[in-house]
Structure 1
Amino acid sequence: MRGVTTLTVDVVLPCLDEAEALPWVLARIPAGWRAIVVDNGSADGSATLAAGLGATVVHEPRRGFGAACHAGLLASQAEFVCFCDCDASLDPGLLPGLLRSVAEGSADLVLGRRRPTARGAWPAHARAGNLALSRLLRRRTGLRLRDLGPMRVARREALLGLGLSDRRSGYPLQMVVRAADAGWRVREVDVPYLPRSGRSKVTGTWRGTWQAVHDMRRVLDEPAPVGGGRP
């Protein structure tokens, strides 16, 4: 296998008002990898700051986590694509450890399983929503995942082939569901989960969490497609 430092890798960072966290996040992108910051309508100068720090900036006017993630995927050009939150809760410097399994061919999609490092890093309502979705996912696909975290790695062309259509909070789950339906090998790797910078736009409240769960339940109700296969 080629060393991870010789692979072409893009890191998609969906961004909505993350100026406070961006310097920390971008400083931890592995050397030689390209950071794609997808600005989803920030009002705090995040896009200008990211560009000044050397990131490729994509503007996605349609609000939604999935809209931002998919815009980054479409803008990517590398063989491998990583996704990571832009709020300093996850360290992009850990991505080579996730990439290794995909690059060597032992997995097709690798997810970072969040392990909180401090009290309050992962609020109870967010954990409850994640647990409920993990159980529903197991029932729907058979995958025994413990987290549906935003840090993940896969091959770009394979991801595009999944035909992801959700543009809201259901996007991360749809990626896993469609990967499972296509016979992909999906695995988890533990990653530290840090207290985020600023307030969460999705799971910062019970209302936001359960809206995300509602979006994701729609994804689970989609019928499994006929055909497909591993990348």
Structure 2
Amino acid sequence: MEAKQAVREHVWALLDRQKVTPNGAAGRIPSFVGAESAAARLTQHPSWQAARVIKAVPDRAQLPVRAKALEEGKRVYMAASKLAAPKPFYLLDPETLPIPAWEAAERSAAAKYARPVDVDEMPSVDLVVCGSVAVNRSGIRIGKGAGYSDIEVALLQEANLLQPHTLIATTVHDLQFVDEELPEDAHDFRVDLIVTPTRTIECAPHRRPPGIIWQSLTSEKIAAIPALASRKP
């Protein structure tokens, strides 16, 4: 969608211009200066403190979130790259990991030390943490355009792993929080909580698609993700 891409290009350019993205912003969920502060702020929220099971994205921007969860003894489920594995999630269990939390939270460590699991092997999720390129007060978020976060949440929704108490949070730089309206598609989920290095923003009651919206996916995308291909009606 051109409108979404225009927002991405604007925010990526702004982040780079302000020199808050050490690895460059364009084309990705950007890691940002202050990511550790945003993660620390998230840990103060009641939903985090009550959570025992967290589903987190593998992006570098959320590395501090994954590490803090493991340090606090929470189980972390992290998506495999592009959901391309037959079992699309990795279980990072702090009780069995042989390496420190910050090392285990790295994307590259998951394939070596974590246990691959299918959606059917997962418990209910207390908190979902996603990355964003831009997000507004209504909880509408724009990702990098690949659609994997939407598919991850849809898979959890289909499997009834998202409960009424489950919140979806995103950690972003302050510059990624925008006041304007953002474009939204039927398959997009909204976040309930936005956390920046300086602010915690509670959003309106959540809007979530009922599950996988098959007509929004191309046959190529379905074929490339075994968890979708095996569930296609």
Q: Same fold judged by TM-score > 0.5? A: no
